[in-house]
C-alpha cells in the first residue's frame, strides 16, 4: 500500500518506519528541510530504542523516503496519516492550526479517492473539521478516520509492531477495509482492532491518557497520606496493585508526570469538557495534584538547606521526563533545577541521552558531565529525577565518599531506605518512612 505520513515528529516517524517495515511504500513529509535532509541520511533526531536501525534499513531497501513535497506525496498515496503537532494553546486547548493547514493542503492536492487518518492527538470533533476543510478544496471523495496512537516513549517501536489493541474510528466501510488491511501484519497474534465511530475513537485517546495520569496523581496523593501516618507507600501500592480490578501499572509515586502527552492531554480534555458543559472536577484535581507534586523535591531540599542556596552544589541524576527517551517536555527535573538556580544553587547534571535537550532548554546555566559519578564531587546532595537503569544499583560507597554531605533526594524511590541508612545516607524518598540510623548533618 502507498502511504503518506505528514509530520516526522515522534508519532509520525515511528509510524512511518514501522509501516514501511511491513512492506508498504511510505513517504514521510515535513516542512523542515534540514530535518528531511538528515533523515534521508538515516540521522534520527530523537532517541527511541530500535528506531534508527528501522529507518536505516527501510531507507536502504527503498520502502521509506522523506520529502518536503506534500502535493506529490498526496498524489501518490492511497492512505494519508496526519501526524503533526497539537501543542497546547494559551487556554489549554489543543492548537489545531497545523492539522487543519495540512488538511487544506491535502484537499488542494487530491487527484483521486483517499483515506485520510488523523494520527495526531486531537479533540473530539476534529475529524469532522478535517473532512470539511478537505472537501472545501476538492471534489474527490475522501474518508476521514481517527486512529489514535498509544505509544510509550522508550518502547514506541515495540508498541507499534506488537500493539495490545488498535483503535480506529470510521464512518464508511471502505475506510474500515483499508485500515484492517494496513494493520493486519501487526495483529497476527490475535490482538484486536477495535472499530468504532469517529468521535468515540477521538475521545478514547484522551480518556486513556487521562486515566493513566489519574492513577499517577492518585498514588502521589496516597504517598502524602503515607508520610503523615508513617505507612510505607510501597506496601500500599502492592496491596492495591494485586487487586485484579486495579492492577499494578502506573501506581508508582514520584516527582510527578511530564512528557509530551499526559500534561497537555489532560489540559485539553478539561478544556473540551468545560466547553461542552461536562463536569471536569476529577481531571482538574489530577492536574492540580501533579503540578504540586513537581515541586516536592524542591520543597524538601529547601526545607533541609533553607531558602538561600548560595554556595550549595546539587548533583542531578536524570533530566528526561522518563527513562529511554531524551524528551525534556514538561520534565519534573526542570521545576527542581529552576528552583535551585533561583535560590542561588549550583547544579551539575547527568543524563544518558537528554543532555543535548537540556542544553537547548537550560543552556549554560547548569553544568553537564558525561559520566554519572562525575557530577558528585563536593555536591551537597544528590537529586534523582529519572529512573535510568544505570542509576538503580549504584556504588553507594563511591557516592557517599564523593558527596560533601551524604544526602540523597530520590524522586523515583529507587533505593531501599533501610539500606541507605545503614550505608550512612540521609535519604529522602516519596511516601516512605525515613529510617532511623542515618547521619545527623548540620545544614
**Rounded mean pLDDT of 203-224?**
96
Q: Name the band, by pLDDT with cuts 50, 70 and 90, for residue 436.
A: low
The whole-number pLDDT of residue 191 equals 77
Tell me the average pLDDT across 123-142: 95
Q: What is the pLDDT of residues 32-90, one digit of tens each?
A: 999 999 999 999 999 999 999 999 999 999 999 999 999 999 999 999 999 998 887 77
What band does 172 get if pLDDT is binned at 50, 70 and 90? Answer: very high
CATH superfamily of 294-428: NAD(P)-binding Rossmann-like Domain (3.40.50.720)
CA distance 318 to 337: 11
Collapsing DSSP states into helix, strand and coil, what is residue 143?
A: strand
Sheet holding 165-169, edge to edge: 64-67, 25-29, 2-6, 79-82, 114-118, 142-146, 165-169, 192-196
DSSP 2: E
Annotation says 261 is catalytic: yes
Is the pLDDT at 215 greater than 50? The verdict is yes
Residue 191 CA to residue 167 CA, distance in Å, equals 11
3-class state of residue 188 by DSSP: coil
The CATH number of the domain covering residues in 2-195: 3.40.50.720
Class of domain 205-292: mainly alpha
Catalytic annotation, pick one of 28, 145, 226, 261: 261
- How many angstroms separate the CA atoms of 273 and 401, rounded? 53
157-172 mean pLDDT: 94
Mean residue pLDDT of the chain comes to 94
Q: Considering the entire predicted model, what is its pTM?
A: 0.90
All structural domains of the chain with their residue ranges: 2-195, 205-292, 294-428
Assign 412 a pLDDT band (cuts: 50, 70, 90).
very high
For residues 337 and 368, is the Cβ–Cβ distance under 8 A? Answer: no
Question: Taking residues 133-149, what's their average pLDDT?
Answer: 96
Of the pLDDT bands very low, low, confident and very high (cuts 50, 70, 90), residue 437 is low
What sign for the dihedral angle of Cα 431, 302, 351, 390? negative
- Per-residue pLDDT of 292-312, as tens digits, reads 999 999 999 999 999 999 999
Using pLDDT thresholds of 50, 70 and 90, give the confidence band for residue 440: very low
Per-residue pLDDT, 108: 96
Average pLDDT over residues 169-179: 94
Give 3-state DSSP helix, strand, coil % of the chain, rounded to 5: 45, 15, 40
Mean pLDDT value across residues 411-429 = 96
Same fold, 2-195 and 294-428: yes
Q: What is the mean pLDDT of residues 155-160?
A: 94
Average pLDDT over residues 366-387: 97
List the beta bridge partners of residue 346.
313
- 10 in helix, strand or coil? helix
Report CA torsion sign: 312, 315, 320, 322.
negative
High-pLDDT (> 70) share of the chain, %: 98
Residue 12: what are its φ and ψ, rounded to 5°? -65, -40
pLDDT value for 359: 96
Share of the chain above pLDDT 90, in %: 92
Contact 122, 151 (CB under 8 A): no
Lowest mean pLDDT among 48-52, 239-243, 431-435: 431-435
Contact assessment for residue 73 and residue 67, using Cβ atoms and an 8 Å cutoff: yes
CA 52-58-59 angle, 5° bins? 85
Amino acid at each position: 500500500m502507498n502511504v503518506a505520513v505528514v509530520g516526522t515528529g515522534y508519532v509520525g516517524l515511528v509510524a512511518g518506519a514501522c509501516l514501511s517495515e511491513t512492506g508498504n511504500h511510505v513517504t514521510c513529509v515535513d516542512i523542515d528541510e534540514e530535518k528531511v535532509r538528515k533523515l534521508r541520511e538515516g540521522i534520527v533526531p530523537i532517541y527511541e530504542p530500535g528506531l534508527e536501525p528501522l529507518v536505516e534499513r527501510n531507507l536502504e531497501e527503498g520502502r521509506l523516503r522523506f520529502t518536503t513535497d506534500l502535493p506529490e506525496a498526496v498524489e501518490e498515496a492511497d492512505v494519508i496519516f496526519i501526524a503533526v503537532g497539537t501543542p497546547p494553546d494559551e487556554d489549554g486547548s489543543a492548537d489545531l492550526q497545523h492539522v487543519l493547514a495540512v488538511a487544506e493542503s491535502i484537499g488542494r492536492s487530491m487527484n483521486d479517492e483517499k483515506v485520510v487518518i488523523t494520527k495526531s492527538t486531537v479533540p473530539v470533533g476534529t475529524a469532522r473539521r478535517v473532512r470539511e476543510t478537505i472537501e472545501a478544496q476538492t471534489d474527490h471523495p475522501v474518508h476521514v478516520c481517527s486512529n489514535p496512537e498509544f505509544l510509550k516513549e522508550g518502547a514506541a517501536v515495540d508498541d507499534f509492531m506488537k500493539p495490545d489493541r488498535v483503535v480506529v474510528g470510521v464512518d464508511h466501510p471502505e475506510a474500515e477495509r483499508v485500515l484492517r488491511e494496513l494493520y493486519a501484519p501487526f495483529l497476527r497474534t490475535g490482538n484486536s482492532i477495535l472499530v468504532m465511530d469517529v468521535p468515540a475513537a477521538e475521545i478514547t485517546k484522551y480518556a486513556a491518557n487521562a486515566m493513566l495520569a489519574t492513577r499517577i496523581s492518585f498514588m502521589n496523593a496516597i504517598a502524602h497520606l503515607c508520610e503523615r501516618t508513617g505507612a510505607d507507600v510501597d506496601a500500599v501500592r502492592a496491596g492495591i496493585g494485586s487487586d485484579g480490578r486495579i492492577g499494578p501499572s502506573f501506581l508508582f509515586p514520584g516527582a510527578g508526570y511530564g512528557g509530551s502527552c499526559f500534561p497537555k492531554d489532560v489540559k485539553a480534555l478539561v478544556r473540551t469538557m468545560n466547553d461542552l458543559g461536562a463536569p471536569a472536577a476529577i481531571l482538574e484535581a489530577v492536574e492540580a495534584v501533579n503540578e504540586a507534586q513537581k515541586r516536592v523535591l524542591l520543597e524538601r531540599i529547601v526545607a533541609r538547606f533553607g531558602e538561600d542556596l548560595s554556595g550549595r552544589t546539587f548533583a542531578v541524576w536524570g533530566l528526561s521526563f522518563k527513562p529511554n527517551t531524551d524528551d525534556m517536555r514538561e520534565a519534573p527535573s526542570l521545576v527542581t533545577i529552576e528552583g535551585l538556580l533561583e535560590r542561588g544553587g549550583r547544579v551539575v547534571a547527568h543524563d544518558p541521552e537528554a543532555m543535548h535537550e537540556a542544553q537547548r532548554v537550560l543552556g549554560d546555566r547548569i553544568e553537564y558531565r558525561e559520566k554519572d559519578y562525575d557530577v558528585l564531587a563536593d555536591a551537597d546532595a544528590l537529586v534523582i529525577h529519572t529512573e535510568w537503569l544505570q542509576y538503580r544499583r549504584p556504588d553507594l560507597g563511591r557516592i557517599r565518599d564523593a558527596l560533601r554531605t551524604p544526602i540523597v533526594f530520590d524522586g523515583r524511590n529507587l533505593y531501599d531506605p533501610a539500606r541507605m541508612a545503614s550505608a550512612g545516607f540521609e535519604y529522602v524518598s516519596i511516601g516512605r518512612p525515613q529510617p532511623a540510623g542515618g547521619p545527623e548533618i548540620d545544614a
